[in-house]
Structures are given as C-alpha cells and as structure tokens.
Amino acid sequence: MRKVTLTFLVAAVAIVSWLYWRQARPAAFVVSGFVEADEVRVGSRVGGRVADVLVAEGQHVRVGQTLFTLDPFDWQERLAQAHAQLAAHQAEHDRLRAGYRPGEVAQSRAKRDRAASTLEKLTAGPRPQEIEITRERLNVARAGLELAESEHERVKNLRAEASAAKVEYDKALRELKRYRAEVAAAEQELALLEEGTRKEELAEARAVLAEAEAALKLLEDGFRSEDIAKAAAQVEAAQAEVSAIQTQMKELTVTSPCDCVVEAINLRPGDLVAANAPALTQLDLSRLWVRTYVPESRLGDLRLGQRVPVRVDSYPQRRFMGRVTFIATDAEFTPRNIQTPEERGKQVFRTKITLEEGADVVRVGMGADVLFDEAGGQ
C-alpha cells in the first residue's frame, strides 16, 4: 500500500513539475506563411491580333524565347512609307549641302561676263573707226547730193526750154530727194556716234551686271545654312520615325524577359490583345520567399539579414535556410488567411524571408513555417 502511495506521489510531483515547466517556458516563435515568387505580367506595347501562341501553361521558358506573336497588319506599309520619307529628306539634305551644280555656276558666270562686256562696250562708246566710217559715208552722201543738185538744176533748165521730157525731170527730182535724205541720215548717225552712249543705257547695263553678279554669288555661296540645318532636322525626324516604327514592330513578337515558368495564359490565334495590357503571367522562380506577418511584441527578435530555417508542409522533416530581407515600417492587422500562433488580433509587421536553397523542390503556393526559434546569425 505504501508503494502505491509513493508511486502516486512521485507521478503527481512529475506532472506538476511538467505543467510548471510548460507554463514557465516561453512560447515558440514560429510564424506561418506561403511561398511566393516574382510575378511577371507580359504583354505588348502596341497590341493587335494574335497570330501564333508558342507556349503553354506550366512551360519553362528562357530569356528571349518567343511567347506569342501578333499580326503585323499595316506595320510593313507604315515602315515603307517612313523609309520613303527618310530617303526624300536625305536627298534634299544632300542636294542643299552639295550646293549648286558646276554647270549652273558656269552658266551664271557666263551671264555675268556677258553683262560686264555689254557695260564695258557701252561705257567705251563707238570706236573711232566707226565714227570715221560714218563720216566718210556722210561725205559720200554729200557728194551724191551735190551731183543730184547739179543734175536737177540742169534738167530743170532744159525743162524750162522744153528740151527735156517730164520723165527725165521727175527722175532727177527723186534722186535729189534721196540724196538729201541720205545726207540727213548720215549726219544724224554721225552725231549719235560722236555723242556716245546714252546715260539710260549705261544705267540699265550696270543694273543688269549687278543682277548677274548677285546671282553668281548666290550660286557660288551655295544654299543658306538655315536651309541646310532645316533639311538635316527633317532627316533626323524621319530617322526617328523609322526607328520608332521598327521598335514598335519588335513588340509584335512578345518574348520572355526572364527564365520563368508560364503561370497563366489564355490566348488563341485570332484573339485581340490591348496595347500595354498583360496578356500572360510568368513566375520568376530564381528567387523564392515566404511572406509572413510578425506580431509587434516579437518584432525586436528580428533583424535584416538574419538567417532563419523554413519548414514546408510537403517536407516536414527538412529545413530550408532563408534570410530576412524585408521588414515593413508600417504595422497592419493580421490578414484573415494567415494566422500566427499568438496574439492574432493584434497588429503585425509584414516580413519577407528569401530562401537561399530548396528551389529544386519548393513550389510557389506551398504553406511554410518560419522557425525564428532556430534562427542563426547573419
């Protein structure tokens, strides 16, 4: 009987001691969460009709691998038009920069030289030989006039004596008038030559020469620098337009920006994709983390860079090392889908534990426990 009583007392003391130890022991610091990864939403900046879809959900893709393509529609025509405008502006710029053709300059120089010669001739006036020739022509006309006057006088006297016919008299009178006219014309011509070139003709010749010289200088100087700069700007604008269209056409082929896994895609050839709108979702599995919420009372036990083990439900006996890479500065209330073992109704701080291992077996969406009790240093 004494042995039973002693055994009972020992058992009671052990139970009380265990209960006391359990009450005195600090609560385990374990926070639950889910494994997450960077989500990349891929689309096209230009949009359009889907031509081909080259991936499926769950497929692993590499950087630069084509995901889907869009119908080019009228992009080729736009690019051809932009190239044509670029060629036209480039040709105009080359023409202005090269200046006028040598033939045009030579033609203008010839006009200038001709105008200069004309002015020089008018300034010099008639040559002495021309004046002398005109003077001799006047002398000849005067001699003829004297002969005509003598013949006219002779026939006139015969006519008075009725010894000359009327026809002969009329002929002598015509000759007289003709020589008188020749003398008068020769005198006027000689007077003009001796007087020289008119002032009006000289002024006109100087104006023609000045105009020809100005035209030649314009051709020799080439086109204005402002016109060349404007043409160069038009070339740059056309080049920018071509580059912009080429860049936009690259958006017709949508490629993967990372080594990722296609998470969600709902595209079929013929579907319309809006510009700048996500068309499929990828997960970048190169970096996994656990999003957790730490109670305010335990925040002092955390520090950035701290290494902590993580346990996932699929591998309960295995520990995956992670590192605290983010601690929120603003508190929030515990989300409904994530509960902490203690103080569920109080404020918490969002944290991120980036996994350093386990990328071969850990999957996005797995439930995970962060074992801060087993945390190590940095």
Contacts with 358 (C-beta within 8 Å, 6 or more apart), sequence order = 288, 310, 312, 320
- What is the predicted pLDDT for the residue at 213? 86
- What is the predicted pLDDT for the residue at 21? 44
- Mapped onto helix, strand or coil, the DSSP state of residue 138 is helix
Q: Taking the CB of residue 110, how many other CB atoms lie within 10 A of it? A: 12
Question: What is the identity of the amino acid at 97?
Answer: R
Tell me the pLDDT tens digit for each residue of 183-206.
888 778 777 777 766 788 778 888
Q: Determine contact, residues 33/291, Cβ cutoff 8 Å.
A: yes
Question: Domains of the chain (ranges plus CATH)?
Answer: 27-59+268-374 (2.40.30.170), 81-99+224-249 (no CATH)
Question: What is the identity of the amino acid at 93?
Answer: H
Helix segments in 25-127, DSSP class H: 75-98, 102-124
CB under 8 Å, gap of 24 or more: what pairs does 109-115 form?
109/216, 111/212, 111/215, 111/216, 112/209, 112/212, 112/213, 112/215, 112/216, 114/212, 115/205, 115/208, 115/209, 115/211, 115/212, 115/213
Q: In what order do the strands lie in the sheet with 48-53?
A: 253-255, 66-70, 48-53, 272-273
Tell me the pLDDT tens digit for each residue of 63-118.
999 999 999 989 999 999 999 999 999 999 998 888 888 888 889 889 988 888 88
Q: Which helix (H) or strand (E) holds 292?
A: strand 277-295
Phi, psi of 121 (to 5 degrees): -65, -40
Q: Determine contact, residues 298/282, Cβ cutoff 8 Å.
A: no
User: Whole-angstrom Cα distance, residue 340 to residue 37?
Assistant: 22
Q: Determine contact, residues 285/336, Cβ cutoff 8 Å.
A: no
Q: Determine contact, residues 73/49, Cβ cutoff 8 Å.
A: yes
Q: Whats the size of the chain, residue-wise? A: 378
User: Whole-angstrom Cα distance, residue 90 to residue 235?
Assistant: 6
Q: What is the pLDDT along the chain (378 residues), one digit of tens a residue?
A: 555 565 666 566 566 555 554 454 455 678 889 999 988 999 999 989 999 999 999 899 999 999 999 999 899 999 999 999 999 999 999 988 888 888 888 898 899 888 888 878 777 777 778 777 877 887 887 888 788 778 777 777 776 766 667 777 778 778 878 888 888 887 787 777 777 667 887 788 889 889 888 887 888 888 888 988 999 999 999 999 999 999 999 999 999 999 999 988 889 999 999 999 999 999 988 889 999 998 888 888 888 989 999 999 888 889 999 999 999 988 877 654 445 445 445 688 899 999 999 888 888 888 899 988 877 655
Burial class (CB in 10 A: 0-12, 13-18, 19+), 368: buried
Tell me the pLDDT tens digit for each residue of 307-338.
999 999 888 889 999 999 999 988 877 654 44
- What is the predicted pLDDT for the residue at 297? 81
Burial class (CB in 10 A: 0-12, 13-18, 19+), 365: exposed
Cα 140 vs. chain centroid, distance in angstroms? 85
